[in-house]
Amino acid sequence: MKRSPLLILLLTVLLDLIGFGIVLPILPVYAKTIGANPFMIGLIPATYPIMQFIFSPVWGKLSDKIGRRPVMLISIFITAISYLLFAHAATIPLLIFARALSGIGSANIAAAQAYITDVTDSKSRSGAMGMIGAAFGIGFIVGPPIGGLLIQYGVEIVGYASAALITLDFILAIFLLPESNKNAKKLTLGFLKKESGSNEPKRSPLLVINEKSAEFVEGLKLVFSSRPLALLMVANFIYTFAIASIQLVSMLLWNEYFSVGNSTGNILAFVGIWSVIVQGALIRILIKKFGEHKLFFWGHLFTFLGIFFVPFVPIPLFFSLGLFILFFFAIGQSLVMPINLSMISLYSYKEKQGQIMGFSQSINSFARIIGPIIGSILYSMNFHAPYILAGVLTIAGAVIAIDLFKFKIDALDPSKN
């Protein structure tokens, strides 16, 4: 495995996620201060995964054509601009636009995952995917406390701090991140221009939309064309939906029911620390000992334990029994998420991994769009309800994991399909 480019990629991803983590905890509060109603408070964060859902397959497929490096550079630059806009987003429309632009840039995770498939072999891929998960964990450990500290100086400083980190990310990628896709076409100005002498007629916007819709349908057929790949895509959706459905309401539950006050950031850091330990250090060892299939199954069961019982914890025992339960959640999601990504790439068609990883990320983003909405509705009815639903979904994921045991891990050859 080529460790040098992988480490550089992970560093750029980490800086991006820390910038995201800085903004995330203050977003709902800031939206409320500039006049957002409850619907808009939910819509503003939703614009981020909506844009990821739309643009993940675009970045993934584009990275198959022109290379991972140019896609990473363009998307990182877009993200930096988005945080500068966030620093000056004094109105709700501008705040929505800033978060949408950030979602477009951060949809490059599909290209980053495809980069990993380029520079790793099948034995080390799950561990490498786990490192991206560890980067997410570190982002949630480091980012929120920084955001909480800087907000006292104004939202402008928070935006500038995130923009500065992403700018550093961009500079590092320019000088240190090599191209990993050996089949990519060299990116030149001609790529963006119509070739001289070309008589290709201008296409109407409706025709372009129809073509893109056809490409999306083609992509869906591609990722659901084999049973193991289809099962993994379904597992990806229901697991991400389960997690997303309780993320927002957990902030409400901790404050309204358990009255944790300013300890919310510490709770997130607790989960993040264990995520980093598992995904950054232990997952490689565990995969060698037990294999992806077993860990995928046990990860779902651990997540069930870490979600289903949270609202049933007695209030005085939250910082003892409650954190013990959240420990299982941290371990479970640290196993399921990177292994799911790794197994999708391992079962993917050769030469199509960027496109497939892009669709996987779109499915993930779609679950993150509708999950919080359903979770919030259920929470308003009964605060136990979203946790019960999420627990049931993780059990369904465990059943899918059992079904996957019969399929040998091996990349598919489209010529044989």
Per the model's pLDDT, the better-predicted residue between 289 and 128 turns out to be: 289
Q: What is the pLDDT of residue 193?
A: 45
* Residue 216 pLDDT grade (very low, low, confident, very high; cuts 50, 70, 90): low
Please say if the pLDDT value at position 163 is more than 50: yes
Secondary structure (DSSP) of 300-331: HHHHHHHHHTGGGS-GGGIIIIIHHHHHHHHH
* Residue 27 pLDDT grade (very low, low, confident, very high; cuts 50, 70, 90): confident
Neighbouring C-beta atoms of residue 264, cutoff 10 Å: 16
* Residue 407 pLDDT grade (very low, low, confident, very high; cuts 50, 70, 90): confident
Report the C-alpha gap between 3 and 24 in whole angstroms. Answer: 31
Please say if the pLDDT value at position 87 is more than 70: yes
| Residue among 291, 336, 328, 326 at smallest CA distance from 136 | 336
| Cα–Cα distances in angstroms (integers) from residue 277 to residues 272, 283, 307, in the given order | 9, 9, 20
Q: Which domains does the chain have, with CATH numbers?
A: 3-181+223-408 (1.20.1250.20)
Per the model's pLDDT, the better-predicted residue between 52 and 331 turns out to be: 331
| Averaged pLDDT, 93-110 | 90
Neighbour-count burial of 263, counting CB atoms closer than 10 A to its CB (0-12 exposed, 13-18 middle, 19+ buried): middle
Report the C-alpha gap between 309 and 245 in whole angstroms. Answer: 15
Q: What is the pLDDT of residue 26?
A: 73
Please say if the pLDDT value at position 223 is more than 60: yes
SS3 412: strand
Enter the tokens of residue 232.
Answer: 């993994």
Q: What is the pLDDT of residue 29?
A: 67
Contact 181, 38 (CB under 8 A): no
Please say if the pLDDT value at position 308 is more than 90: yes
Count CA atoms within 13 Å of residue 300 on its CB side: 25
Per the model's pLDDT, the better-predicted residue between 164 and 57 turns out to be: 164
| Averaged pLDDT, 244-250 | 81
Per the model's pLDDT, the better-predicted residue between 201 and 120 turns out to be: 120
| Averaged pLDDT, 81-103 | 94
Q: What is the pLDDT of residue 323?
A: 95
Please say if the pLDDT value at position 36 is more than 50: yes
| Residue among 376, 396, 394, 397 at smallest CA distance from 386 | 376
**Weakest mean pLDDT among 42-51, 197-206, 326-335:** 197-206
Residue with tokens 């109105």: 91
φ/ψ of residue 349, rounded to 5: -70, 140
Q: What is the pLDDT of residue 204?
A: 53
Contact 166, 15 (CB under 8 A): yes
Q: What is the pLDDT of residue 52?
A: 80
Please say if the pLDDT value at position 217 is more than 80: no
Q: What is the pLDDT of residue 324?
A: 96
Mean pLDDT of the chain: 81
| Cα–Cα distances in angstroms (integers) from residue 125 to residues 135, 183, 330, in the given order | 16, 20, 21
pLDDT in tens, 172-202: 889 888 888 877 776 654 444 444 444 445 5
Q: What is the pLDDT of residue 202?
A: 53
Contact 85, 336 (CB under 8 A): no
Q: What is the pLDDT of residue 413?
A: 46
* Residue 166 pLDDT grade (very low, low, confident, very high; cuts 50, 70, 90): very high
Enter the tokens of residue 227.
Answer: 């049973």
| Averaged pLDDT, 298-307 | 96
Q: What is the pLDDT of residue 164?
A: 93
Q: What is the pLDDT of residue 28?
A: 67
Residue with tokens 């450990």: 141
Please say if the pLDDT value at position 259 is more than 90: no
Q: What is the pLDDT of residue 207?
A: 63
Per the model's pLDDT, the better-predicted residue between 231 and 407 turns out to be: 231
Please say if the pLDDT value at position 345 is more than 50: yes
The CA-CA-CA angle for residues 381, 387, 391, to 5°, reads 140
